[in-house]
Structure 1
Amino acid sequence: MAKAYDYLFKLLLIGDSGVGKTSVLIRFAEDSFSPTFISTIGIDFKIRTIELDGKKVKLQIWDTAGQERFRTITTAYYRGAMGILLVYDVTNAKSFDNIRTWIGNINQHANPDVEKMLLANKCDMNDRRMIAKEMGERLANEHQLRFMETSAKSGINVEEAFLAMARDIKVKLDRKTDGGGANGAGAGAGNKLKNDGRKESGRASSSKFRCQLL
């Protein structure tokens, strides 16, 4: 029987509590949004399968709790992550200031070659904005990160962010295998996951690409 996917990528969402990590994940995985805030307890994940360059890529996306008391739990998931998305809230200056701490955690716990991206969430809330886009761009440049402003509520750039992350990982893997297809880390490890509830990504993103990608 043919495999359901060619690659399996493990992604991680990190950042302070309340920045919208869960909302970003649900927008991408289920194309829905709930205004009700429910704090993530420990760690959770969702799966979605997308298509890149004619290949099916299964994304296993882990949503981590931002509270300090869960840090020892969530850091255990850094090591196996192939991509990490750092999220801050443009209406919360502290969540932006804490990104450097989260980057330090990545440097301490994650693989050295992990792909990283900085997401400035809630960019639709300009009336409450405290962090200008230029500030996010400077921070991203400082740490050599991709950068996007997103809105889980309106869907702005959420699809684009995950697709860009997946493409960067795929390019890196293909380079390592001299242009070969999925390697053991990509496809073989995923055979343990049978019922993925995946959602094929034939649809085009309905969000408008408003924010710059570095």
Structure 2
Amino acid sequence: MGTLGGCVMVSRNADGDWDLGVSGSPAISGVGGGLSADLTGLTSNADSLDQLRGWGWDKEVSAHYGIGGLASHESSFNLDGSWVRNSKGEPVWATEVGGGPGVEGGVETGLNYTWGCSLRLGCSWFVPFCRRPEKRALGPAASDAAEIGGLFSMFIIPLILGLACLTFGLALATNHRGFRDRLAASPINIAPGDTKVPGTFKAVGVMASILGVFMTLFGIVFAIFS
């Protein structure tokens, strides 16, 4: 099961400096099924928004029938297998609680990747598994990596995800060419025959459209500042 999230975040670091930023995060996990769109609140022991960028291990419990909720916990980690730590040396975690419309249920665990842009830190631009090549190491292979990194720079993926989410949401909300009806008749509907499902899926489409607008604007901001 996949998720797509956007978040507005406020942080205060160990020096007392405040920061304001936005983030976008696609994730893949299992086991669960259905369709929902949720508005959530996030809290974390990170004292810099930079500590929430990159890879995270998600654990989530959710249930929706018309309307429902979710609770999740994320642990941030580095590609070398170590935990990301805050200024106190504690492993960085984040929790999320919220709810919204949907017909869905699951107890899931999986991975996500978070991009971020903030007033103090600027924007993270790299894609997962890619690192910015060092200037002293720019041989032919490094030049190719730099070219690929530039082509798929940080804003491209949120922009594509935002447009995809917006397209999906509008098609679902407006039942474009019977899309909502076909989705309600597909295996993704875990309550077949329930008369509330089409209306619930329409509400999901509206919220997905809002998220799509947010993610698209997010990608545009990154295109300007990254």
TMscore range, shorter length? under 0.3
Higher CA-based Rg: 2
More strand, by proportion: 2
What TM-score do the two structures reach when normalised by structure 2? 0.26
What TM-score do the two structures reach when normalised by structure 1? 0.27
